[in-house]
Amino acid sequence: MFTTQFRHMSDKTINITFHEYSSLKELAPADKALAEAAIEAMQGAYAPYSHFHVGAAVRLSNGVVVKGANQENAAFPSGLCAERTAMFSAGANYPDKDMESIAIAGGVHGRLAKAPATPCGACRQVMAQYQTKAGKPMSVIMVGDGCIWKFDRVDDILPLIFDSI
């Protein structure tokens, strides 16, 4: 039987701080521009199955903004989220530049949702690795209509990041 000498369990809490805005006008100019680029990028969505249009925009260390949108396919797993479309495009076209920030927007039939667009787990993992590659925080801006969340680093949306490199 267990005895008290094995009772070493203790509860831990992870706290996450993020910033909430009620209008794009409240964002710093570069973040506002990136959020607007993510909304624009929704127009590039190809979503004949889900009808959920997602746009993403990555800001690089040289100020260039790279956009992406979700691309669906009849063979469902062959499609790709907006965030990874943007990040892979940025990585492929600007391999020497750091990704400083990514903004995400989405909504049914291309109409921006009220709730901020929260990235899927696979996209968070990809963000984490580009952040590691850059060696400095990548902020994540989730855009909704009348509600915007900004997280200062990927760690804040993917605690206990897997990192083998």
Q: How far is the CB of 37 from ligand THU (least distance, A)?
A: 15
The nearest distance, CB 52 to ligand THU, in angstroms, is 4
Binding mask 8-47 for ligand THU (x = CB under 6 A): ---------------------------------------x
Alpha-carbon distance of 1 to 73, in angstroms, equals 55
Whether 83 is a known active-site residue: answer yes
Q: How far is CA 105 from the centre of its chain?
A: 9
Alpha helix (H) residue ranges in the chain: 29-41, 82-93, 121-134
Least distance in angstroms from the C-beta of 119 to ligand THU: 4
- CB nearer to ligand THU: give 118 or 132: 118
Closest CA to 38 of 155, 144, 121, 129: 144
Judge residue 154's burial from the number of C-beta atoms within 10 Å of its C-beta, 0-12 exposed, 13-18 middle, 19 or more buried. Answer: buried
Active-site hit among 20, 40, 72, 83: 83
For ligand THU, the binding residue among 37, 66, 81, 105 (CB under 6 A) is: 81
Stretch of 13-21, 81-89, 133-141, 155-163 lying at the interface with ligand THU (CB under 6 A): 81-89
Cα–Cα distance, 119 to 100 (Å, whole number): 17
Nearest CA-CA partner of 102 in 119, 114, 120: 119
Q: What is the C-alpha R_g of the chain?
A: 18
Residues 92-131 that bind ligand THU (CB under 6 A): 119-120, 123
- Whether 146 contacts 107, CB under 8 Å: no
Taking the complex as a whole, how short is the minimal distance between the CB of residue 3 and ligand THU, in angstroms? 48
Question: Which positions are annotated as active-site residues?
Answer: 83
Sites of contact with ligand THU (CB under 6 A): 47, 50, 52, 54, 70, 72, 79, 81-83, 119-120, 123
